[in-house]
Amino acid sequence: MKKTGILNRQLSKVIASMGHGDYLVIADAGLPIPLDMEVVDLAISKNIPGFLEVLNSVLIELEVKSAIIPIEMKTYSFQIYNSLIKTLKDKKVTEISHEDFKKKMIFARAFVRTGEFSPYSNIILVSDVVF
């Protein structure tokens, strides 16, 4: 049995399969995910698990180069936005419209659906290499 890190078998496998420049989307409960995409659905109930909890767990295991977020997060989910910016303080974070976000997210290797009920709490993590 795995002792630490992400215990979810599917999410652990997705992270292990990520290559340089691949996209991983961590989504709130309401983001429309294309039907043909791989989804790691962690949502149990309202805000369980939360967006930030999942993001922090993923960041322990995934080498991240940069991130893309919807600009609307700053207005509609300010507390999550502030926490996210602090968490990613050493990474480039690009803010784009939610509509442009949905256009970029179709290139993701996988989606991680959380139980987050805060609007626009979505992120595209761009993976990096560890060497």
Query: So where are the chain's domains?
Result: 21-127
Instruction: Tell whether the model's pLDDT for residue 2 goes beyond 90.
Output: no
Domain 21-127 sits in which CATH superfamily?
A: RbsD-like domain (3.40.1650.10)
User: What mean pLDDT is reported for the chain?
Assistant: 97
Q: Going by C-beta distance under 8 Å and a sequence separation of 6 or more, which residues neighbour residue 115?
A: 29, 42, 43, 44, 45, 46, 47, 48, 49, 50
CA geometry: angle 116, 122, 127, nearest 5 deg:
125
How far is residue 60's CA from residue 44's CA, in Å, rounded to a whole number?
22
How far is residue 58's CA from residue 52's CA, in Å, rounded to a whole number?
10
Instruction: Tell whether the model's pLDDT for residue 93 goes beyond 90.
Output: yes
| pLDDT for 12 | 97
Q: Are 116 and 56 in contact (CB under 8 A)?
A: no
pTM score over 0.85: yes
Q: Is 98 a catalytic residue?
A: no
Percent of the chain with pLDDT over 90: 95
* Catalytic residue (one of 20, 46, 65, 92): 20
| pLDDT for 1 | 83
